[in-house]
Each structure stands twice: as structure tokens, then as C-alpha cells.
Amino acid sequence: MQLRLEQLAAHLNKVGPSGIKPLYTVYGDEPLLAQEALDTIRAAGRVAGYTERQVHTVSGAYFDWSSLLGAGSAMSLFGDKQLIEIRIPSGKPGKDGSVALQSYCARHADDDSVLTVITLPRLDKTQTTSAWFTALDTAGVTLRCDPIERNALPLWIAQRLSAQGQQVEPGEAGQRALGFFADRVEGNLLAAHQEVAKLGLLYPRGPISLEQIEEAVVDVARFNVFKLSDAVLSGQVQRTLRMIDGLHAEGEAAVLVHWALSEEIMALHRSRAALDAGKPLPMVLREQRIWGPRERLFERVLPRLKAPNLARLVTAASTVDGIVKGLRHPQWPEDPWEALRRLALMLCRQMAPQT
């Protein structure tokens, strides 16, 4: 049974100690949210009497799955209920592990003497539709811990502030404060949590002003080159430039940033050419292997983009390719990062919503 993270506390309160599920699977690549979910489940388990804890970490291809099956079947020495944690850092239990997990689920689906918590990293579609993951989902509760995207970060921050009795000012001033806060912590949720906690220590319960947030919250943002594409395709100029500066400061390779920008330019150019050749938009996006959030962005901008403008972007991307590899161009900056900023701005201006 899939459950959203924000539903976990209510679920555990609703079922109570006697109704806690026998198995919980926590997966995803956001460490803070995963740790909080695990702590919540462990706390509920202690209240329900699961006081004897075992931890099994699946490392490598030669993990002894029989020992795990035996541990789940063995009675506690002291008659206590058992909490068994199974950690699979690779997210790939292998053939033997798949069989073992399915067997484990069949044995303990209705066993209230054992509470099992399984932790996994982010999983792809093949993994989430596998027999072993389906068995986990059927036998208990699965919780996915996705990163908090930039557009959802202000609300997340506001909720965290509210939980400690604080809130930003109402109206536009409060939105500016949350936006500033989000810019400072984007891509670094653990640090965001720490900055929220710091505000709780520095200021009393009640409203917090933008000036107080500016004074207290340090810039701990971390950027992913693959998220740069989303910002550029959305026409977010300031965020794009901030991300490029952040990637530069973090030591990211200029050639990788150029690759991210040029891939989007070429995809747009090929898609526009296919549209001009008479192909329908859904077919074009499918042929170009564009899906998910990128698909929605392409659907928004492609119909109004002009082939000559995209051709100029392709030429500019080729020029910047040479610059990041040490070749000069008389009409472009010598510094690779300045050239990347200029290329990103050119692309942003094409992507920006028309007024």
C-alpha cells in the first residue's frame, strides 16, 4: 500500500499499537525525509512493544539471505516483539534476494510479533514493478522519499516553521521571505531543516520578518546540473544564473554544464524541425524521448518557437563548446563560465513566457 510521507503520522495514530502494519518500506534519495520516516516508524514500534531490534545490511552479491529468514522466524530470547531493519543500499537484492524477500513477506504478512522496516534508495520503474517490490507493497506500507523541488520548497519551509510555532508575515512580504529562504537552501534539504531549527532557537514563537531571515539564514544551496535544464526551459533567468554560479563555485566541470544546455537546444531544434515537417506534437515528443516534467515544458514552448531562432542557438552552443575546450571566439567571452551564462540567457529569453 502506497502512502504519502505526510500521511504517515496520521496512519500510525489511526491504527494504534494494535494495528501497526507488519512491514514498512522506505525508499528514495532524500536522506532527511527517509530518516524522519524511519524515526517515526521506530517510535510507533516502541510504543507497540517492538523493543528487540536487529539490523541487516545487504552488501554485495553474497549476502546470506537464509540468516535473515531465520532471524525473522526465531523467537525473541526475552519474549519481546522484534523490530527487524533490512537495509539494501544498492536497491538491487538480486535473484536470491528477490526470492527471499517474497518468502519473507509471505511468512510475516500477518505476524504481529515482528515489525520489519526495509530501506532502499531511489528505484526506477523496473524495480518498482518487480516481483519482490510488489510483494513488499502488498504485505505492508511503502513510502517514497522524493526531493522537495524548488517550487514546493517555500510551502515546505512554511510548514516546518509552523510546526515550531513560527510563521512569516502575511501577504507578499511573507512570500518574498519564503522565496529568499528557498533560494538559500535549494537542493540541500538537510541544511534547510537545520536553518529552520536555527530560526526556532534565535527568535521567539510568532511572526518572522524578511530581515530576520536574511540575517540568520546562510547560503547553503546545492545545485544539480540536471536541474539546470528545468530552470532554463522554464525561462527562469535569475534562478538559471544563480544555478550556474553555484555550479561554478562547487567545482562542477564547465563541459558538463555546456552538455546540459546544448542537449536541450538540440532537442528543441530537432523537435521544431519535426513539427515543421508535419508530425503531430505527441509523436515528436515520443520520438525525441521527452517525457515527465520536460514533456510539459516542451509542450508549452515548442508551438511558438521559430526555427531560425533555434538555429542561432545551435550555432551559439557550438561556439561555446569550443570555448569550454580552450578555443577563443572574437565575439564571445574568453572565460568559459561567462560564455555559459550568455548561452543560458539566450536560451532563457526564448523560453520565457510571452507577455
CATH (domain of 263):
1.20.272.10
Q: Tell me the β-bridge partners of 82.
A: 52, 114
**What pLDDT sits at residue 75?**
55
329 is in which domain, residue-wise?
225-351
Look at residue 241 in the predicted model and tell me its pLDDT.
92
- Chunked into runs of 10 residues, the chain (355 residues) has average pLDDT values of 88 69 93 94 90 86 78 59 91 90 86 89 92 94 93 95 94 93 92 94 94 91 87 90 92 94 95 94 92 87 92 96 94 95 94 71
Q: Is there a single domain that holds both residue 322 and residue 269? A: yes
- How many CB atoms neighbour CB 104 within 10 A? 27
Check residue 185 and give its pLDDT: 93
Three-class SS of 111-178:
CCCEEEEEEECCCCHHHHCCHHHHHHHHHCEEEEECCCCHHHHHHHHHHHHHHCCEEECCHHHHHHHH
How many whole angstroms separate alpha carbon 242 and alpha carbon 246? 6
Quick one: 183 and 246 in the same domain? no
Question: Among residues 145, 164, 180, which one ends one of the domains?
Answer: 145
Helix (H, G, I), strand (E, B) or coil at 314: helix
For residue 249 the three cell numbers come to 563555485
Whole-model pTM? 0.77
Q: Is the same domain home to 326 and 305?
A: yes
Please name which of 355, 350, 348 lies closest in space to residue 236, comparing C-alpha atoms. 348
Grid cell, residue 185, equals 537552501
Q: C-alpha angle 274/278/284, rounded to 5°?
A: 40
* Pairwise CA distance, residues 298 & 274, whole Å: 13
Domain identity same for 289 and 190: no
Number of domains in the chain: 3
Same structural domain, 236 and 189: no
Check if the beta carbon of residue 233 is closer than 8 Å to that of residue 264.
yes
Question: Assign residue 236 a region: left if phi > 0, alpha if psi is -120 to 50, beta otherwise?
Answer: beta
Pick from 216, 242, 259: which residue ends a domain?
A: 216
In this prediction, residue 67 carries a pLDDT of: 78
Report pLDDT for 41. Answer: 94
Question: Are both 197 and 266 inside the same structural domain?
Answer: no
Together in a domain, 136 and 23 = yes
CATH number at residue 188: 1.10.8.60
Whole-angstrom distance, CA of residue 317 vs CA of residue 269: 12
Exposure letters 190-216 (e unless 16+ CB within 10 A, then b): ebbbebbeebbeeeeeebbebebbeee
- Kind and range of the H or E run holding 85: strand 81-87
Domain boundary among 128, 145, 162: 145
Q: For residues 17 and 118, give the distance between their C-alpha atoms in angstroms, rounded to a whole number.
A: 20
Question: In this structure, what CATH number is given to the domain that contains residue 135?
Answer: 3.40.50.300
Residues 110 and 242 in one domain: no
Are residue 307 and residue 247 in the same domain, yes or no?
yes
| Residue 129, C-alpha cell as written in the block | 514493478
Backbone angles phi, psi at 84, to 5 degrees: -115, 120
